[in-house]
Structure 1
Amino acid sequence: MKSVPTIEKYMTTAPHTIGSEQSLAKAEKMMADLRIRHLPVLNAGKLVGILSDRDVKLVESFKDVNPEEVKISEAFTPDVYMVSPKAPLGEVCAEMALHKYGSVLVVDNHKLVGIFTWVDALEAFNELLDTRLKQ
């Protein structure tokens, strides 16, 4: 029986991040330019949460909100699902599905080393179908 792969095999390494004092407009531009939907948020170099495109759209939907003036610190999600790079792929995917998480931050020794999104999960699933289930 083959072993279950760990999250580090499929995570995106060196994810783009944004500082908590940056503007929502800057985050939105970064996401659009990089074609990503999640930005880990740092405060003084320390990981403090995540900002998703959904967070940006929600805040911008409020009346009289100027994205140039709103700081990331006012919009990000501080309570983030974090795992070790050695976390089993199946457990991480099960948690993501259970809680409907769009992404997981991968942390090693309190340092951000990667991000694992539902797109990464689909790529892992596709690879596993191709390599492990073909006869």
Structure 2
Amino acid sequence: MTTTVQQILEQKGSAIHTVTPEVSVFEALALMAKFDIGGVLVTDQGKLVGIFTERDYARKVVLKGLVSRDVKVGDLMTTNVRTITPSETVDEVMALMTERRFRHLPVVEDGQIAGIITIGDVVKSIVSQHENTIRQLSSYIAGDIAAH
């Protein structure tokens, strides 16, 4: 059985951490540190307008010598954000993340943010699927051996 994004959200919860474009990079980083997350969604009046991640910070603040207290998230966020839907499969999401080198994908349903999936969530799901398959095969083999 193929796991969907919806199933991952049900297991991990759909907590969403957002900031507005006017928030300083420093404030966004503080929020990310508080919740031990690698990125925040950027919203304007409830609408997804971007994403700001540790990668954005490293490449757009640190390397350019900017000061995180002086720069706004809106100036550095990644716009044109690729989103996924709850019905997409883990395999589809893994392929997209690998191909496009994404580590975070917002989940949107009917125009509303439903959650966010990380590469860690996808890997955890795949490992769980494999562990389940191994248990089933082990049980099958043990039952087959016992029958002979």
Could you state the TM-score of these two structures normalised by the residue count of structure 2?
A: 0.83
Shift of 1:101: 0.7
Contact 2:24 2:71 in 1 (8 A): yes
- Structure 2: which 5+ residue stretches go unaligned? 138-148
Aligned to 1:8: 6
More strand by share: 1
SS of corresponding position for 1:133: helix
Q: Secondary structure at the match of 2:6?
A: helix
Q: Which residue of 2 aligns with 1:113?
A: 114
Deviation, 1:87, is 0.9
Partners of 1:80 and 1:58 lie apart in 2 by 17
Q: Which residue of 1 aligns with 2:69?
A: 68
TM score, norm. by length of structure 1: 0.91
Greater RCO (Cα-Cα under 8 Å, separation 6 or more)? 1
Q: Which runs of 4+ in 1 moved over 3 A?
A: none
Deviations 1:73-101, CA, capped at 9 Å, x for gaps: 00100122211111121111111111111
Select the structure that is richer in helix: 2
RMSD (Å) for aligned C-alpha atoms: 1.3
User: Counterpart of 2:29 in 1: which secondary structure?
Assistant: helix
Q: Partner of 1:47: helix, strand, or coil?
A: strand
Give me the whole-angstrom Cα distance separating, in 2, the residues matched to 1:133 and 1:17: 39
Structure 1 segments unaligned to the other structure (5+ residues): none
Percent identity among equivalent residues? 26
Alpha-carbon distance in 2 for matches of 1:87, 1:47: 19
How far off its partner does 1:44 sit?
2.0
Q: Which amino acid aligns with 2:101?
A: K
- Secondary structure at 1:10's aligned position in 2? helix
- AA matched with 1:128: Q
